[in-house]
Chains A and B, each alone.
Chain A
Amino acid sequence: MPAKTLHISSSPHISSGLSTEVIMKNVVWALIPVAAFSIYSFGINALLVILTAMGSCLLTEHVLCKLSKKDSTISDWSAAITGLLLGLTLPPIFPLWMVLCGGVIAIALGKFAFGGLGYNVFNPALVGRAVLQAAFPVAITTWYPAFLDNRFAAISSSLLTFPFMTPVFDGTSGATPLSAFKFDHITTDGMDLALGLVSGSTGETSAIIILLSGLYLIVRKMMNWRIPAAILGSVFVLSGILYLIDSQIYPNPIFMLFSGGLMLGAMFMATDMVASPITSLGVIIYGAFIGIMVVVIRVWGGLPEGVMYAILLANALSPHIDKMIQPRVYGTHKSTKRG
């Protein structure tokens, strides 16, 4: 007799017909130009960082699936995306052994500890990066100038640091536009930022390419456009207000929008389907919260960049946002809702 089971699941119950696999595959395609530009600007170092991150995530996923006696889920592309995103958020000369650890942490702690794909509370790639940031704060804030002449010929020595040893960075380091602003009050030209002619994490530099990749997914209805719109909108408005109050202290809104990991975060990190709210209004609150937190951390915080923490914080809030804006059940009153 065939076993009959009743599947009980939370909303949404109506799907658009797109399977996880198709969406994931499209996200990978959309990220390919971003990765290609990062390899073009940072050379062979960026390629190695991205490949290591992906390999580490895929391997961890496979091993953990086997350990928990489930079918391997590496073919659904989600681990590949986690790895790709993790690689894109790391500095181009980040030691590979640290990248490897980051991938393991992202999948094991960010995804499997919560129950695997569909259950993760936080964006796994950002969990991996957050742990790396806390563990190796010096390595993760040592940047590398873009478009060096020998970038396709030589591998940076720090990349090949022996596992568990401190990397030694050669002299060529470059400040990111955000740290240059935070510590020396130098504003980078908006055009350079948009085109990606600056230093930064491997995949965050070219705002325009990230924007176009995101638009591709939005047009194909594989990404909720409200999230990036709410994030970028609130960053623009809030930093615009601050700029109008005192243009000497506060950076201009264009600089805010195009610098750091904001574009990459808004388009590809905050839009993680599992870790963001479900309702349209909830998504807008979620996006606005991220945008405000980014500006607050960048302007008043101790760190130059805050996109990662803003998104992780909003991830934690998203189930509560959904709960908060639930419409009242007809016939009940606010006061008697609990009873």
Chain B
Amino acid sequence: MKESITASRDESASTIKMLRAMVGIGIICALLIVITYDGTLPRIERLQAEALEKAIFKVIPGIVKTKTFQLDKNNTFSEAKEKEKSAQLVYAGYDENDQLIGVAIEASGQGYADIIRILYGYDPESQKVIGFYVLESKETPGLGDKIEKDSNFLANFISLDAKLSDDLSKLKNTVIPVKQGAKVNEWEVEGITGATISSRAIGNILDASTNKLLPLIYSNKELFSTKSKEE
């Protein structure tokens, strides 16, 4: 009898001890994390914005500033204030005179290893894809990752035909991936030998994204340029 009482007292004492230890450590840890988070957040955000900005500058040559728009539910674009992760974002790029040069569009799709995220530039004036950059890919190093470096492949996107059909509802000629050396038409994406699947994936991502977004962007072309003049 006596024993059991001491045992329970011990237990309650150690429960308090345990609670004290866990709460104490929890508070120390929470403090440490909050301090680091606050300390590093501005720099992280700046670096990430810089990385994105660099990518946008790469896909729309000759711009000096950008503005972010998001696709709304009723298929129009509005300037993105709060960043929503799910929203389809597009970035308009302007030159020194606030003249719209092009629109950078984020797109993604299944590659060989995992989802590939790309950014491509579109010029509504000439109706062409004018630049391309891989934001994120886990393609096989040495093979699939040629989509980021292969100069012959990247040359596809300097001036890729993306003309809209007469009723402006879709592309006149959809973007088609073809084998290396088999490019005949302006709207074909020439693949890479040895990275067939990855380079085809890029063609397919572009095909899906251009068909969906370019008609919308083209019909809202005014929106992108007027918005910038207002400021």
Question: A residues bordering B, Cβ < 8 Å?
Answer: 137-138, 141, 183-184, 302
* Residues B112 and A302 in contact, CB atoms below 8 Å apart: yes
13 pairs from A and B in contact (CB 8 Å cutoff) = A137-B140, A137-B143, A137-B194, A138-B143, A138-B193, A138-B194, A141-B194, A183-B179, A183-B196, A183-B200, A184-B179, A302-B112, A302-B197
* Residue-wise interface mask of B (172-216) relative to A, using a CB-CB cutoff of 8 A (1 in contact, 0 not): 000000010000000000000110110010000000000000000
Closest A residue to B177 using CB positions: A183
Closest A residue to B111 using CB positions: A302
Distance, CA A70 to CA B112, complexed state (A): 46
CB distance from B102 to the nearest CB of A (A): 32
* Residue-wise interface mask of B (48-81) relative to A, using a CB-CB cutoff of 8 A (1 in contact, 0 not): 0000000000000000000000000000000000
**Chain A positions within 8 Å of B143 at CB level:** 137-138
CB distance from A165 to the nearest CB of B (A): 15
CB distance from A144 to the nearest CB of B (A): 15
Closest A residue to B196 using CB positions: A183
- Contacts A138-B143, A138-B193, A183-B200 given; 10 further ones with Cβ under 8 A? A137-B140, A137-B143, A137-B194, A138-B194, A141-B194, A183-B179, A183-B196, A184-B179, A302-B112, A302-B197
Distance, CA A302 to CA B140, complexed state (A): 13
Closest A residue to B113 using CB positions: A302
**Chain A positions within 8 Å of B193 at CB level:** 138
Question: B residues bordering A, Cβ < 8 Å?
Answer: 112, 140, 143, 179, 193-194, 196-197, 200
**Chain B positions within 8 Å of A302 at CB level:** 112, 197
Distance, CA A75 to CA B221, complexed state (A): 78
Distance, CA A95 to CA B179, complexed state (A): 25
**Chain A positions within 8 Å of B194 at CB level:** 137-138, 141
**Chain A positions within 8 Å of B197 at CB level:** 302
Distance, CA A183 to CA B197, complexed state (A): 9
**Chain A positions within 8 Å of B140 at CB level:** 137
CB distance from A185 to the nearest CB of B (A): 13
**Chain B positions within 8 Å of A137 at CB level:** 140, 143, 194
Distance, CA A183 to CA B200, complexed state (A): 10
Distance, CA A137 to CA B195, complexed state (A): 10
Distance, CA A183 to CA B223, complexed state (A): 41
Distance, CA A31 to CA B31, complexed state (A): 72
Closest B residue to A169 using CB positions: B193
**Chain A positions within 8 Å of B200 at CB level:** 183
CB distance from A238 to the nearest CB of B (A): 23
CB distance from B114 to the nearest CB of A (A): 12
**Chain B positions within 8 Å of A183 at CB level:** 179, 196, 200
Closest A residue to B143 using CB positions: A137
Closest B residue to A304 using CB positions: B196
Distance, CA A17 to CA B52, complexed state (A): 73
Distance, CA A137 to CA B198, complexed state (A): 14
Distance, CA A320 to CA B197, complexed state (A): 34
Distance, CA A138 to CA B140, complexed state (A): 12
Closest B residue to A134 using CB positions: B140
Distance, CA A141 to CA B195, complexed state (A): 11
10 smallest CB-CB distances across A and B, nearest first, come from A138-B194, A302-B197, A302-B112, A137-B143, A183-B196, A137-B194, A183-B179, A138-B143, A141-B194, A184-B179
**Chain A positions within 8 Å of B196 at CB level:** 183
CB distance from A142 to the nearest CB of B (A): 9
CB distance from B130 to the nearest CB of A (A): 28
CB distance from B199 to the nearest CB of A (A): 11
**Chain A positions within 8 Å of B179 at CB level:** 183-184
Distance, CA A138 to CA B143, complexed state (A): 8
CB distance from A2 to the nearest CB of B (A): 59
Distance, CA A223 to CA B179, complexed state (A): 43
Closest B residue to A173 using CB positions: B193
Distance, CA A137 to CA B200, complexed state (A): 17
